[in-house]
Amino acid sequence: MSKQDSPLALFWREFAESRIAVVALGVVAIIIILALAAPLIAPQDPYDLANLSLSDARRPPGYVGSNGYVHWLGTDANGRDLLSAILYGLRISLQMGLVAGAISLCLGATLGIAAAYLGGRLEALAMRIVDLQLSFPAILLALVLVAVLGQGKTQLIIALIASQYAYFARTAHGAASAERSKDYVEAALATPLPGWRIVFKHLLPNVMPPLIVVATVQVANSIALEATLSFLGLGLPVTEPSLGMLISNGFQYMMSGRTWISVYPGIALIVLIVAINLVGDQIRDQFNPRLKR
């Protein structure tokens, strides 16, 4: 270990030891770039109804549409270019996963650290609620909330957050209370330092590594959960077709052999989820002290 190695460079070198993880990270990066650049690179704006022609509907991959360009992945039931729809769908799925993941992270970390720092009855109550929620399957909770709040983007994000934050809270609480009981924190607490300084200087940095691991896994889970709810027809409104909805729309044509309408969005979804999970797996192994040589 040379002295000019920054922690980040060290982290990266260790991460790069797993070739699968590096490839997965590359795939995630490419997907994010594709999703961000969707309006620039997609052959068609899938939301512009003027572009759609029903004579182009349900055409197989490689079909040359009435607009003159090739539909490389075919078209869906509305004559929409599937490649464009997938690029835009990736945008929506990623957005939902990241927004829900980020808010759950903040909410869960705050709750977990606060519970560990304050202790007492509040801690017991908060953690009891979190435990109870964790014993309840996420999909059921999301289903209850979608049923209760109705359908829409905000409602869906709320449902995703409500079913994910508990994982962050549990993790943050575990790490923070382990740190809280250490002597140096006890010592810091005995000094007149303000509480927030101890939280930010001592507790938070030690809580971050496990939280990052949970965050990668939970972003993948959010995307999968959103896709599932959209597939069930309880997710996003029709105007914002996520990958789950694209798959759902194509499902009814599957029996007649027009499989591409479901299969290509599905492949995009699986590649995204598996890639994120592989990156998360590698980071978890890196942060796991028991696997350290």
Partner 1 sequence: MLAFLVQRLLQAMAVMIAMSLLVFVGVHFIGNPIDVLIAPDVPQNIRLETIALYGLDRPLWEQYAAFVGRLLRGDFGRSFVFNVPVLDLIMGRLPATLELVLIATLGATLVGVPLGIYAGYKPDSVVAKSIMALSILGFSVPTFWIGIILILTFAVNLEWLPAGNRGETVDIFGVGWSFLTLDGLKHMALPALNLSFFKLAMMIRLARAGTREVMLTDTVKFARAAGLTEGTILRRHVLKLIAIPIVTVFGLELGSTLAFAVVTETIFSWPGVGRLIIESITVLDRPVMVAYLVLVALLFILINLTVDVVYALIDPRLRQAPAR
**What whole-number distance in Å separates Cα of residue 155 and Cα of residue 10?**
41
Radius of gyration of the chain (CA): 23
Stretch that binds partner 1, among 48-56, 97-105, 164-172, 255-263 (CB under 8 A): 255-263
**What whole-number distance in Å separates Cα of residue 259 and Cα of residue 262?**
6
Q: Distances from the Cα of 205 to the Cαs of 23, 102, 129, 199, in angstroms?
A: 28, 17, 25, 9
- Binding residues for partner 1, rule CB under 8 A, total 41
Stretch that binds partner 1, among 108-116, 186-194, 200-208, 253-261 (CB under 8 A): 253-261
| Footprint on residues 26-45 left by partner 1 (CB under 8 A) | none
| 271 φψ region: left (φ > 0), alpha (ψ -120 to 50), beta (else) | alpha
Q: Tokens 């795939």 belong to which residue?
A: 27
Residue 292 CB-density burial (10 A; 0-12 exposed, 13-18 middle, 19+ buried): exposed
Name which position in 255, 291, 292, 293 contacts partner 1 (CB under 8 A).
255
**What whole-number distance in Å separates Cα of residue 52 and Cα of residue 207?**
50
Stretch that binds partner 1, among 107-115, 163-171, 184-192, 271-279 (CB under 8 A): 271-279
Q: Select 127 or 207, whichever has its Cβ closest to partner 1.
A: 127
Assign 268 to helix, strand or coil. helix
260 binds partner 1 (CB under 8 A): no
**From the CB of 135, what's the least distance to partner 1, in Å?**
6
Query: What does the per-residue mask of binding to partner 1 show for 116-135, with x meaning CB under 8 A?
Result: --------x--xx---x--x
Name which position in 103, 139, 188, 204 contacts partner 1 (CB under 8 A).
139
Name which position in 36, 57, 77, 144 contacts partner 1 (CB under 8 A).
144
**C-beta separation of 44 from 71 below 8 A:** no
**What whole-number distance in Å separates Cα of residue 260 and Cα of residue 263?**
5
**What whole-number distance in Å separates Cα of residue 250 and Cα of residue 262?**
5
**What whole-number distance in Å separates Cα of residue 193 and Cα of residue 197?**
7
Phi, psi (rounded to 5 degrees) for 81: -65, 125
Query: What does the per-residue mask of binding to partner 1 show for 71-110, with x meaning CB under 8 A?
Result: ----------------------------------------
Name which position in 23, 33, 118, 148 contacts partner 1 (CB under 8 A).
148
**From the CB of 43, what's the least distance to partner 1, in Å?**
26
20 binds partner 1 (CB under 8 A): no
What is the binding site for partner 1 (CB under 8 A)? 124, 127-128, 132, 135-137, 139-140, 143-150, 220, 224, 227-228, 231-234, 244, 247, 251, 254-255, 257, 259, 262-263, 266, 269-270, 273-274, 277, 281
